[in-house]
Amino acid sequence: MRKTALLLLAAALLSACGTTSDLYSWGGYRNKTSAYEDYAYQYYHRQTPESLCDLLACYEQMVSTPGGSRQVPPPGICAEYGYLLLLPETAVTFMNHASASQKRLFQTGDFAGLFQERGKEMLQMEIELYPESAIFIRPLIKKLVK
């Protein structure tokens, strides 16, 4: 009886082991970190126009083609992305410093108009995907959206 109980316990424990898919995609991996982590670190550490363009392109890819088992952008990404898009200097910086491939992601030349619309859309998407974020995002929308 005791051997049977131990065998069942071992089988139960071992059956719980296995691979699990990630709930979210963080933009692939570079240098043992996710692309998001790498680009965000570069941007917040260096604060260069090029690092901002890299981060915006990473965000756009993450929200346009979300991966992971949930197939939605990770929590906070839409809010972070929307906030950056709504900052007044972002469109000008992007227009002047983005590479041709980064500009093609947005398929327009009017970055100021697009970034305003896309920024609002991203903040709303954060609330839709993660309703618990509304308490933080709604005041941000009131402050940034004119």
Contact 91, 111 (CB under 8 A): yes
pLDDT digits (tens, 9 = 90+) for 8-39: 555 555 555 544 457 776 767 766 788 888 88
Contacts with 55 (C-beta within 8 Å, 6 or more apart), sequence order: 39, 40, 42, 43, 84
Structure letter (DSSP) for residue 30 = E
State how far the Cα of 66 lies from the Cα of 55, in Å rounded to an integer: 16
Give the up-direction half-sphere exposure of residue 8: CA atoms within 13 A in the CB hemisphere.
Answer: 5
Using pLDDT thresholds of 50, 70 and 90, give the confidence band for residue 139.
very high
Using pLDDT thresholds of 50, 70 and 90, give the confidence band for residue 79.
very high
